[in-house]
Amino acid sequence: MVNLPKLDRIDINILAQLQKNGRVTNAELAELVGLSPSPCLARVKRLEKGGYVSSYSAIINLAKLGTVQIVFTSVTLGDHRRNDFIRFEQGIREYEELIECHLVSGGFDYLLKFVVKGIAHYQEMMEQILERNLGVSKYFSYIVIKSPVMRHQPAVKLLSGRGTNLEPPA
């Protein structure tokens, strides 16, 4: 098991800055967090090695590529044995349109988030899922009309206990 480093306020600040802009140069990052470049780079490498930074990526504006529809789907399985959950989860992974899958408590089993080209695309995909017999007893679709707030991750500072949602953004 990897011995995870204990995070201090500078580490949290580094993570927060990388979360805002993963393409920031080491020199810019060092200035933002109040370190010289060499110790800053060493901390970033330590955070990466410790698994605190799992990857760097670009967030693509999919609407620029064409029509995009977000659909949330609640799914209830017909049976609730361990193998039923495994079969569903393995089968649903194969759909690239699926961007989130959550096993939830409450009135249904899974909450799925799909990004599709349109309603016809979504319906065709759902028909394929049902034909594959993944154990779906029923499902309900929720078409997204508008997304006034979309965050890709919660703020690192909030989760680390180093900030609250009452503080203005830095």
**In this structure, what DSSP letter does residue 112 have?**
E
Residue appearing with tokens 């991750």: 153
Quick check: 22 and 56 in contact, CB under 8 A?
A: yes
**The overall pTM is greater than 0.95:** no
pLDDT in tens, the chain (170 residues): 456 668 999 999 999 999 999 999 999 999 999 999 999 999 999 999 999 999 999 888 888 999 999 999 999 999 999 999 999 999 999 999 999 999 999 999 999 999 999 999 999 999 999 999 999 999 999 999 999 998 888 888 777 765 544 444 45
